[in-house]
Amino acid sequence: MSALHKLMARIEQTEALDKVAQPVAGLVGRIVKPRPIRNILSGSYLGHPLHPLMTDLPIGAWTMATLLDTVGGRRAEPAADLLVTAGILTAAPTAWAGLNDWSDTQGGDRRVGIVHAAANATALVCFTASLVARRSGRRRVAKVIALGGFGLLMSGGYLGGHLSYSRGVNINHTAWREGPAEWTSVLAASELTDDMPQLVQVGDLSLVLYRSGGTLRALDSVCSHMGGPLDEGTVDDGCVTCPWHGSTFRLADGSVVRGPASSEQPAYETRVREGHIEVRRR
Ligand code: FES
């Protein structure tokens, strides 16, 4: 195991971080609860998480500012100052998108996430202090502070990458789940109770069936957000709501009605042949 991976494992196991992480996550969860806020910050309207897209703005601006500070010379000073300002202005919406995603995590992921947030928040403080120093003509001090902020930014980026690529936080949990392309029998129609979600197995895949008023629907049972069990969810007004974080999907086509999910839930065509419910991929 590399030294960095050992460090990540140590952070994941540091339960003392929960003392800060849990109340902060609870507070964030309450702030982002209204559906429009949740959908915007989660990227539910985009079909992709918002936070990774937003991080390009402050990271790009501050990285280029640091480059200009280092090798740009006098002529590059106005451009460097502008980039520092742009990074500061874009940091807040980026942070809110990230906090929204993080508030749904648990255990080791939540601990790494709070350290990631702390590193980036400290980087923001550094670049803000650097801007103040630039405005007051203390250019050398400004550059040193910005360089420190850049180091913190890279550390925060590493932790964020660890969460996404090593821990799979906020990836689409149905990305590799593909049901049958041909009509496949999954259940005797008489075994399905109306107005009750039912879990069925199709090979390695599990689906949730729902029949109401003669209309039969089928969705992948694993929530695209973080893998919650949709068969244990509640159904209302043609939508199923995940019991874990409240993502709501339209049963007809799997589209996201309410985040935090940003990826549609795979939906299946259904029919009844000779008393058996059959499904196939759309
Ligand atoms: S697992 Fe998060 S809403 Fe379903």
Q: What pTM did the predictor assign?
A: 0.90
Return the CATH superfamily for domain 184-281: Rieske [2Fe-2S] iron-sulphur domain (2.102.10.10)
Which positions ≥6 away from 77 have C-beta within 8 Å?
Answer: 68, 134, 139
**Ligand 1 proximity of 242 Cβ (cutoff 6 Å):** yes
Q: Is the CB of 226 under 6 A from ligand 1?
A: yes
Mean per-residue pLDDT, 130-158: 97
Task: Write the pLDDT tens digit of every residue in 81-120.
Answer: 999 999 999 999 999 999 999 999 999 999 999 999 999 9
Whether pLDDT at 78 is above 80? yes
Q: What's the 97 CA to ligand 1 centre distance in angstroms?
A: 17
Contact 66, 87 (CB under 8 A): no
Instruction: Say yes or no to pLDDT of 1 above 80.
Output: no
Q: Are 55 and 65 in contact (CB under 8 A)?
A: no
- Judge whether residue 74 has pLDDT over 80: yes
In ligand 1, the atom with minimum distance to the C-alpha of 260 is 3
* pLDDT score recorded for residue 147: 97
Strand partners, 201: 206
Ligand 1 test: best mutation among 222, 223, 239, most atoms within 8 Å of CB? 223
Q: How far is the CA of 245 from the centre of ligand 1 (A)?
A: 5
Convert the pLDDT of each residue in 153-163 to its tens digit: 999 999 999 99
Going by pLDDT thresholds of 50, 70 and 90, the confidence category of residue 282 is confident
